């Protein structure tokens, strides 16, 4: 049985506890208690969360756990002297130490992230980098594995991190079954963007939403303005005007963002040749896709794939 400790502190973000459900449902799926959860804090006893719910905790001592999960906070929370010492000891004595959301600030203040790749909630990623310049910050990531230290983006990304741990512990089939019970995707890849192209566009009218949904489902098509306008039941001129008014972007730029998002996912989760990825996502050729990746991510497709493979092997 693997013992997982969750480090809590007054005002911890309640969403951090969502990750624990993944371990709970692993026990249910396997009909065996393969994970045991302990809630720890510096003082022990009841610890109030960020939204009025209190969790009973045990005072931390010997950090002899398989995994230490450090919860996040609605803002920046730095560790006390005792918390910092406990975290540093856990890095030496535990198989892995992980932070959810802004829990990365506790790891960073304890010196654990120096020289390591890390991520956190996108709202505070620049602040984390500014305070701790030795971190190799990658702000647009769902989660990152660097040796025994894991960090995740904000909020629901903690569930992706937990599912990735379950996959490493018990295999892909178990992680996928748990994800289905949680009614989430199997899991987003660690290197996947924290942002969604569709969510960023935020179209307001049903017609523009319909056109974008059509585009996402037909990326191999040319997706000209005429084609998208037809999907929206508008004239090309009406469509172009309405699209830019609602999204602040041209249809061509929005389509490129959708293609880049789909291509990145294929690069991270599959072994398709780059030419195949470019064709399947509607880029005319691999060079056009490479230029789009550089504009969007500052990295070529091959580097995106290498980063994803390194995390799988970590």
Tokens, residue 49 = 């969360």
The mean pLDDT of the chain is 90
Distance CA 19, CA 17 (A): 5
Q: Which of 182, 210, 232 is the last residue of a domain?
A: 182
Tokens, residue 221 = 């098509």
Q: What is the pLDDT of residue 204?
A: 76
Q: What mean pLDDT do residues 171-200 have?
A: 71
Does residue 88 contact residue 109 with C-beta atoms inside 8 Å? no
Confidence of residue 275 (pLDDT cuts 50, 70, 90): very high
Does residue 163 contact residue 178 with C-beta atoms inside 8 Å? yes
Confidence of residue 261 (pLDDT cuts 50, 70, 90): confident
CB neighbourhood size of 206 (10 A): 10
Q: What is the pLDDT of residue 298?
A: 79
Say which CATH number the domain at 297 has.
Answer: 1.10.10.60
Decide if pLDDT at 313 tops 70.
no
Decide if pLDDT at 77 tops 60.
yes
Tokens, residue 231 = 């999907």
Q: What mean pLDDT do residues 19-33 have?
A: 96
Q: What is the pLDDT of residue 186?
A: 54
Confidence of residue 272 (pLDDT cuts 50, 70, 90): confident
Check residue 12 and report its DSSP letter.
B
Same domain? For 144 and 218 the reply is: no
Domain membership of residue 278 as a residue range: 197-313
Decide if pLDDT at 1 tops 80.
yes
Same domain? For 62 and 205 the reply is: no
Cα 185 to chain centroid, rounded = 12
Same domain? For 162 and 228 the reply is: no
In a domain, 222, yes or no: yes
Same domain? For 23 and 141 the reply is: yes
Q: What is the pLDDT of residue 198?
A: 56
Min mean pLDDT across 53-57, 102-106, 186-190, 254-258 is at 186-190
Using the structure block, give the residue that is written with the tokens 């629901």: 156
Decide if pLDDT at 105 tops 90.
yes
Q: What is the pLDDT of residue 178?
A: 94
Number of domains in the chain: 2
Decide if pLDDT at 308 tops 60.
yes
Q: Which of 182, 213, 232 is the last residue of a domain?
A: 182
Angle, CA of 124, 74 and 138, to the nearest 5°:
25
Q: How far apart are the first and last CA of the chain?
A: 22
**Strand ranges (E), the chain:** 2-7, 35-41, 45-48, 54-59, 67-70, 96-99, 117-118, 136-137, 143-146, 149-152
In a domain, 187, yes or no: no
Angle, CA of 252, 291 and 203, to the nearest 5°:
30
């Amino acid at each position: 049985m693997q013992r997982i400790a969750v480090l809590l502190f007054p005002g911890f973000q309640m969403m951090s506890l969502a990750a624990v459900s993944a371990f709970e449902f692993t026990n249910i799926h396997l009909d065996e208690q393969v994970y045991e959860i302990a809630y720890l804090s510096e003082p022990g006893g009841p610890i109030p969360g960020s939204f009025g719910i209190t969790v009973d905790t045990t005072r931390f001592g010997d950090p002899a756990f398989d995994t230490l999960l450090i919860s996040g906070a609605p803002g920046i929370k730095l560790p006390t002297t005792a918390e910092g010492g406990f975290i540093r000891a856990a890095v030496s004595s535990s198989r892995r130490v992980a932070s959810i959301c802004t829990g990365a600030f506790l790891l960073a203040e304890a010196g654990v992230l120096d020289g390591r790749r890390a991520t956190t909630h996108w709202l505070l990623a620049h602040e984390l980098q500014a305070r701790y310049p030795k971190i190799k910050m990658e702000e647009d990531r769902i989660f990152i594995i660097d040796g025994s230290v894991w960090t995740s983006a904000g909020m629901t990304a903690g569930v992706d991190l937990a599912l990735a741990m379950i996959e490493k512990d018990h295999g892909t089939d178990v992680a996928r079954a748990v994800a289905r019970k949680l009614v989430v995707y199997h899991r987003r890849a660690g290197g996947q963007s924290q942002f969604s192209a569709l969510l960023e566009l935020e179209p307001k009218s049903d017609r523009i939403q319909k056109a974008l949904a059509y585009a996402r489902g037909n990326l191999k098509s040319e997706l000209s303005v005429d084609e998208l306008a037809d999907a929206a039941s508008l004239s090309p001129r009406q469509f172009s005007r309405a699209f830019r008014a609602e999204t602040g972007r041209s249809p061509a730029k929005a389509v490129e963002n959708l293609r880049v998002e789909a291509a990145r996912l294929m690069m991270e989760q599959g072994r398709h040749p780059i030419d195949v990825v470019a064709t399947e996502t509607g880029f005319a050729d691999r060079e056009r896709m490479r230029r789009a990746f550089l504009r969007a991510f500052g990295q070529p497709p091959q580097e995106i794939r290498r980063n994803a493979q390194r995390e799988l092997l970590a």
